Structure 1
Amino acid sequence: MAPNHWAPWLIGVVLPALLSSKKLLRTSLLSGLTAFSVTICPPSFAAANKFANSAGSNISDYAEIILIVIGTCLLMYKLLSKLMSRIQHRRHQLNEQLVRLNHSLNASGDEWWEWDIAKQEFHRGHHWDYFPDDGLRSDDHYTAGTIHPKDLPRVRKALNEHIQGGSDQFQITYRLKGQHSDSWFWVLDRGRVVGKDNQGHATRMAGTLSDINHLMQSKDQHLLFSHTLENISDAVVILDKAFKAVDVNQAFCKITGYQKEQLTNWQFAFDRYPQQFTEQLKQTLKSTGRWFGELEANRANGDIFQIELTIDAVSDDEGQFTHYVGVFSDITQRKNTERELRKLANSDTLTELPNRSLFYANHKHMVRRTEPHALLVFDLDDFKKVNDSLGHHAGDQVLCAVARRLKRCCRSQDTLYRLGGDEFAIVIEGSNSVSTLTEVAKRAMQTLNDPFTLQGSELFVTSSIGIAMYPLDGESTEELLKKADIAMYYAKNQGANRYQFFSESMNEQAIKRLHLESLMRQALKEGMFEVHYQPQYSVERQQMVGMEALVRLRHPEQGLIFPGDFMPLAEESGLIIDIGNLVLEQACKTVQQWRDIGLYKGHIAINLSAKELDLDNFSDHVEAVLAKTGLPANALELEITESSVMQSPKTAVESMQALRRQGIMLALDDFGTGYSSLAYLKKFPITTLKIDRTFVMDLESSLEDRQMANAIITIAHNLGLEVIAEGVETRDQLKILSAMSCDVCQGYYFSKPLSQRDMTTLLSTQQGNLPIELMETAPRTA
């Protein structure tokens, strides 16, 4: 066959065979075939022709055919080798990518999944112990995890929507927990349809599942932080590096009255301060990164308000300031309250004068500056009578009027204080001149001596003034005030309505008073007070009918101290109340013990002070003591002085009436030495009148005293009162009183006050009878 006759065979038979072999080879390689063999045979017609045309053939023709076939085989082999190399290289790349993908999934912690929707087969990477059970992607070969009930409907909806072509990708976050876990964590579930049938229906879907719990927690924290800034009551402003406003919270707008839109590019500044102040503040922030202080600012409506501002710098990773955060609160109300509190703390609410607290603060400052000055302390005389008789409202009006008058007495450089109650003080600055101080004191006394008009009536008020000078009389606030008080009390004791400069002799007296007061307090604590008893005898029956309880203080070193030495200070200091309670209870207890054993049948007389009589529910207290000791009310007589009653007549009468309703006897002591008002005598619910010893001591030599004593006895009898004369010391005094029909006498003529033991002895030996040698047998007047 001629060579050109092989061409159709090569094109029509060999080349298609090669192409078919190439296709077969690719399919085999992809199917895993790695070795094969190729056998090349001539076509059948060529073999037939071989024998038919053998006579006309020659070797060259066959050689040509063989060369063509060999060349063709070599070409096919080369092509196949090159194709196989490429396939193996691609397969190697795919394997590497698969390994990298697997490593990436393992490292990320994500779970991959594949879902054959048509066959309802599900596969996953098993990186997680369980997989979400959404009711759609299910398989019996994995442990199901629980989707949060509130999230499950969203998951199903999103999954169905993607399968049906409603979204390009399935992507959703939700909460999940395992079967053996009590805590929820957030996951991100993502996937996509990767296979569809001829009708476009989804047949296969693949995706991943990621744990994003830490991201959600960070998001929650960010949202919490953002909501916190937006909802806190403090204003927050964020400034950039150029001190322009970047953002503000709602509190900023609420406090300032500005809207966020108005603050765009707002330049940080304080309108109420010079520009230099703002620049200095900025420099401080740039250098230190922090500033704190209290400022005034303007609201949008122009109102002034006060803020407490803190500004801190925000740094980047390189430590460079990028922003500034200012936080402030509106402290206007707090500042107003502080001012009110300072005013309340430093001023008197009634008179609006500076008070004692401010006096101490200001005066200590003056002392530190060692400025010469003087202190005048005023105390209104008997001001308690105003409150008791006219009421506290009227008393307050008087105090305000006094404050106004004293202000007019002060120089421009002087300061008037109300130290408390009815006590005022003037600090005279820059002068220790006696003449200047005397002038101020006299002017103050004169202006106070003018009558006050109150409730349509005139009221007279006087004052006692004590004066102390710095540094002559004291080098501290406490010392100077103490010296001025001493001088003031000295002036009051000298008759009041006068002024007195401090002297060292006054200080000595004050020290003695202080020691005595300490002694009384010690005596109350350690039981050093004793009750002594002085008999009272009936002039007519010449028998003991009563006794008076008298208090004594027995000091282990000083011996017996009598009432005249300590009772005035006890009244002044208020210790008289504790002493009175002690005497009342002890005397009632002792007398009832004598009554129980038949030694005594009379009553016990006990002195009352003005402070005791002025106590609320004093009658209830006496009733309680009687119940405790068992002493009958009619065996108790309470002695009240005229002066104590007249300090507060209305209150005193009410207390006396309450005592009388209990059956307690009341005696008016020291009659004739005080007011001796017959009108009051008629009003007082008393049972006994006592003649003071000052009318008894000179009965023998003074006609006037005899007439006065006789008049008192006559008045008392006419009012149905019993009369007791105290201080009887001689037989002649007894005779005169007996002749005047005096009912009862007591005094040293009969017996001095006796201790409890001595009185027990007296009662046991005399049985209450007057000794024969003391009896008075003179006839009595009718």
Structure 2
Amino acid sequence: MNNLRIVEVNDAYCQVTGFKPDNVIGKRPKIKTKTGRNRQLESYIAREVQSTGHWSGELWMLGANGQKMALDLAVTKLALKKREKAQFYYLGVFSDITSRKDNEEALLTLSTRDAITGLPNRNLFMESCTQAISSCNDTFPSLLVILVDIDNFRKINDLLGHQAGDFLLKDIATRLQTCLDKGYTIARFSSDEFAILVPPYLYSGMTIFFAKKLADTILKSFTRPFIHNDVETTISASCGLAVYPDNGHDTEHLLRAADSALSHAKSQGQNRFQFFDSTLHSLDPKVLTQESALLKGIENNEFILVYQPKYSGNGNELSGFEALARWPQTDGSSVPPNEFIPLAESNGTIIKLTDTLLVQVFATVQQWIRQELVFGRVAINISALHFQNPSLVDTLSQLLKEYAVPAQNIELEITESAMMDNPELALRQMRTLKSLGFTIALDDFGTGHSSLGQLKNFPIDVLKIDRSFILDIVNGEQDRNITSTIIRLAKYLNMEVVAEGVETEEQAYLLSIMGCNILQGYYFSKPLMSDAALRLLEEIKVQQQIKLSNT
């Protein structure tokens, strides 16, 4: 590019870059960045254009005001004949993609970093741990994982408020970064849990005394009070330690061992650490067999959905379905959801399982729409772990595009624990899902620990009354009063209310006169296989057509 000079720029160039024509015409084209001129990229572009006649790509450069800007640039070699002699020009055309690149960078940060502390999140930590395990060799054969849990953090949150709790988490992150080696990976693992990875090149060759000293250093770092807004807070922590390869051959088993050690430490009292010890923390072979079967079942798409109809309060009109997971076995039996769902939640496979079930829901809804069937919304449960994971939005967005299904036909059911474990994260996640068009339902309302004051702050569309209140609604005055209060609360907050577990005519009647919008339970219908649900919708369509023809 040393022999090239800029001969002309248009108005758009000046508007985007901030340079005036006089600043650049007659001068060499240069790519300047915060760290100086990028001569290597300049030379590469020049070579490509000379040899192929064209180059295109994305690059970062500085505008006239010194601000970074991203460009999508295409450079083309042009030959113009002047007096029978070819003269070469180079035409550069670009568009400003700074906003898009900034958004991509922000999304990457959200998917790999904790929004409160700025530390790596669970996903990035697990990826780092997997990479560290794969790097182990004869020279550096081992590594250490430490899980740190803040004792009684929920009480601190309730007492001081979530804003103060967030400041405390930031201070804890800073203190851990200060007292630990910069080569360690420190992550926020969950709401009140941090994880530390001591990589092979720093841990291999160390004795157990090094690990004990490290755990002791971590615990001592919490002895100094934390101060926010002149309020002094004293906290303690518990640690669980696990070593690769002694306590686990991969990331999943290593973290499970560390978590088991952490549980034992907490059971012994506060401000303690505990190593994983197979004599104290036996990994039940039965559980491992079940987990293996669960993973195999997910991989082989063994899980199916059944669809339980939901009806209007008077019981005469179908208002939607709830999609419920089932795991049929080859011998004709079925593993109950209350067995495989807690197992999937405990080992983290619930996300992968739900992803496969979401595909089934979208495919079913797509089929019903193509057949012009009227079915309302189909609800599906989202676990707390999945709801708090950034991948949920990406998965749902992709499914919306792939199946061309309106989000208004899908209802996402979350639990109170998913909402209250991290209210700020829950609020952001709900707003994003609402912006895509999804309906948000709060499942099993009344069994968790959300307050009415907090409930009004969330963009919830539907309240589902837990079946435990419906069970004794006919004879139990207390359950009847609680149910009636929940229904009135939902109406005040402009929410629909669904009663699940309706099994008798008396229950349905009481809920109807209380003003419950939607009823669900075996009194109306048991959960239906997808083909049976399809037949039901087809029958309703025929009935509606007959009714219209008679009017």
If the TM-score is normalised by the length of the shorter chain, which range does it land in?
0.5 to 0.7
Q: Is residue 426 of structure 2 the alignment partner of residue 657 of structure 1?
A: no
Aligned to 2:490: 716
Q: Is the 8 A contact 1:729 1:747 kept in 2?
A: yes
The structure-2 alpha-carbon separation of the partners of 1:752 and 1:477, relative to structure 1 and needing over 3 Å to count, comes to: closer
Q: Is residue 490 of structure 2 the alignment partner of residue 680 of structure 1?
A: no
Measure how far apart 1:645 and its partner are.
2.0
Of 507, 517, 520, 2:294 maps to 520
Aligned equivalents of 1:495, 1:739: Cα separation in 2: 52
Aligned equivalents of 1:696, 1:503: Cα separation in 2: 45
The structure-2 alpha-carbon separation of the partners of 1:595 and 1:650, relative to structure 1 and needing over 3 Å to count, comes to: same
Aligned to 2:310: 536
Of 442, 450, 455, 1:668 maps to 442
Q: Which amino acid aligns with 1:423?
A: A
Unaligned residue ranges in structure 2 (runs of 5+) = 1-118, 120-127, 188-193, 544-551
Q: Is residue 345 of structure 2 the alignment partner of residue 554 of structure 1?
A: no
Measure how far apart 1:448 and its partner are.
4.7
Q: Which amino acid aligns with 1:717?
A: K
Q: Which amino acid aligns with 2:282?
A: N
Aligned equivalents of 1:533, 1:450: Cα separation in 2: 55
Aligned equivalents of 1:521, 1:588: Cα separation in 2: 22
Of 370, 375, 379, 2:148 maps to 379
Deviation per CA, 1:416-468, whole angstroms, max 9, x where unpaired?
x97753236999968xxxxxx9xx99999798588533575556655444589
Aligned equivalents of 1:648, 1:596: Cα separation in 2: 39
Aligned equivalents of 2:257, 2:399: Cα separation in 1: 42
Of 576, 580, 584, 2:350 maps to 576
User: Secondary structure of 1:580's partner?
Assistant: helix
Aligned equivalents of 2:432, 2:493: Cα separation in 1: 21
The structure-2 alpha-carbon separation of the partners of 1:639 and 1:524, relative to structure 1 and needing over 3 Å to count, comes to: same
Q: Is residue 254 of structure 2 the alignment partner of residue 485 of structure 1?
A: no
Deviation per CA, 1:447-494, whole angstroms, max 9, x where unpaired?
8588533575556655444589x9xxx994659978952533544997
Aligned to 2:420: 646
Aligned equivalents of 2:542, 2:415: Cα separation in 1: 28
Of 393, 407, 423, 2:195 maps to 423
Aligned equivalents of 2:316, 2:254: Cα separation in 1: 58
Number of matched pairs? 389
Aligned to 1:5: none
Measure how far apart 1:610 and its partner are.
3.3
Q: Which amino acid aligns with 1:579?
A: L
Aligned equivalents of 2:268, 2:366: Cα separation in 1: 43
The structure-2 alpha-carbon separation of the partners of 1:676 and 1:486, relative to structure 1 and needing over 3 Å to count, comes to: closer
Measure how far apart 1:536 and its partner are.
0.9
Q: Is the 8 A contact 1:380 1:461 kept in 2?
A: no
Aligned equivalents of 1:494, 1:740: Cα separation in 2: 46
The structure-2 alpha-carbon separation of the partners of 1:398 and 1:768, relative to structure 1 and needing over 3 Å to count, comes to: farther
Structure index of larger Rg: 1
The structure-2 alpha-carbon separation of the partners of 1:515 and 1:557, relative to structure 1 and needing over 3 Å to count, comes to: farther
Aligned equivalents of 1:695, 1:494: Cα separation in 2: 33
- Listed as ranges, the matches of 1:236-635 within 5 Å are 378-381=147-150, 395=169, 397-399=171-173, 401=175, 420-421=186-187, 422-423=194-195, 448=222, 452-454=226-228, 457-458=231-232, 463-466=237-240, 476=246, 485=258, 487-488=260-261, 490-491=263-264, 502=277, 504=279, 506-509=281-284, 511-556=285-330, 559-616=333-390, 618-619=392-393, 621-635=395-409
- Listed as ranges, the matches of 1:212-227 within 5 Å are none
Q: Which amino acid aligns with 1:724?
A: V
Q: Which amino acid aligns with 2:260?
A: A
Measure how far apart 1:637 and its partner are.
1.4
Measure how far apart 1:552 and its partner are.
2.2
Q: Is residue 474 of structure 2 the alignment partner of residue 705 of structure 1?
A: no
- Listed as ranges, the matches of 1:136-215 within 5 Å are none
Aligned equivalents of 1:705, 1:734: Cα separation in 2: 14
Deviation per CA, 1:27-51, whole angstroms, max 9, x where unpaired?
xxxxxxxxxxxxxxxxxxxxxxxxx
Deviation per CA, 1:38-84, whole angstroms, max 9, x where unpaired?
xxxxxxxxxxxxxxxxxxxxxxxxxxxxxxxxxxxxxxxxxxxxxxx
Measure how far apart 1:515 and its partner are.
3.3
Identity of aligned residues (%): 32
Q: Relative CO higher for 1 or 2, CA cutoff 8 Å, sep ≥ 6?
A: 2
Deviation per CA, 1:732-755, whole angstroms, max 9, x where unpaired?
322332232111111233333222
Aligned equivalents of 2:402, 2:137: Cα separation in 1: 51
Q: Which amino acid aligns with 2:420?
A: M
User: Secondary structure of 1:639's partner?
Assistant: strand
Aligned equivalents of 1:552, 1:652: Cα separation in 2: 27
Q: Is the 8 A contact 2:461 2:496 kept in 1?
A: yes
Aligned equivalents of 1:460, 1:768: Cα separation in 2: 68
Q: Is the 8 A contact 2:440 2:461 kept in 1?
A: yes
User: Secondary structure of 1:644's partner?
Assistant: helix
The structure-2 alpha-carbon separation of the partners of 1:401 and 1:617, relative to structure 1 and needing over 3 Å to count, comes to: closer
Of 505, 510, 519, 1:731 maps to 505
Aligned equivalents of 2:542, 2:317: Cα separation in 1: 6
Aligned equivalents of 2:173, 2:495: Cα separation in 1: 42
The structure-2 alpha-carbon separation of the partners of 1:441 and 1:701, relative to structure 1 and needing over 3 Å to count, comes to: farther
> Could you say what the CA RMSD is over the residues aligned between the two structures, in angstroms?
5.1
User: Secondary structure of 2:294's partner?
Assistant: helix
User: Secondary structure of 1:683's partner?
Assistant: coil
TM-score, normalising length from structure 1? 0.41
Aligned equivalents of 1:720, 1:615: Cα separation in 2: 28
The structure-2 alpha-carbon separation of the partners of 1:398 and 1:706, relative to structure 1 and needing over 3 Å to count, comes to: same
Measure how far apart 1:681 and its partner are.
1.6
Deviation per CA, 1:289-339, whole angstroms, max 9, x where unpaired?
xxxxxxxxxxxxxxxxxxxxxxxxxxxxxxxxxxxxxxxxxxxxxxxxxxx
Q: Is the 8 A contact 1:639 1:668 kept in 2?
A: yes
Aligned equivalents of 1:449, 1:740: Cα separation in 2: 54
Aligned to 2:27: none
Measure how far apart 1:768 and its partner are.
11
Q: Is the 8 A contact 2:238 2:271 kept in 1?
A: yes
Of 495, 519, 523, 1:749 maps to 523
The structure-2 alpha-carbon separation of the partners of 1:460 and 1:615, relative to structure 1 and needing over 3 Å to count, comes to: farther
Residues 723-732 or 488-497, more deviating: 488-497
Q: Is the 8 A contact 1:641 1:669 kept in 2?
A: yes
Q: Is the 8 A contact 2:308 2:324 kept in 1?
A: yes
User: Secondary structure of 1:752's partner?
Assistant: coil
Q: Which amino acid aligns with 1:645?
A: M
User: Secondary structure of 1:531's partner?
Assistant: strand
Deviation per CA, 1:10-35, whole angstroms, max 9, x where unpaired?
xxxxxxxxxxxxxxxxxxxxxxxxxx
Aligned equivalents of 1:460, 1:612: Cα separation in 2: 32
The structure-2 alpha-carbon separation of the partners of 1:449 and 1:523, relative to structure 1 and needing over 3 Å to count, comes to: farther
Measure how far apart 1:530 and its partner are.
0.9
Aligned equivalents of 2:349, 2:217: Cα separation in 1: 36
Aligned equivalents of 1:389, 1:585: Cα separation in 2: 37
Q: Which amino acid aligns with 1:507?
A: S
Q: Which amino acid aligns with 1:380?
A: D
Q: Is the 8 A contact 1:486 1:507 kept in 2?
A: no
User: Secondary structure of 1:651's partner?
Assistant: helix
Measure how far apart 1:563 and its partner are.
3.1
- Listed as ranges, the matches of 1:75-154 within 5 Å are none
Q: Is the 8 A contact 1:585 1:629 kept in 2?
A: no
Q: Is the 8 A contact 1:486 1:502 kept in 2?
A: no
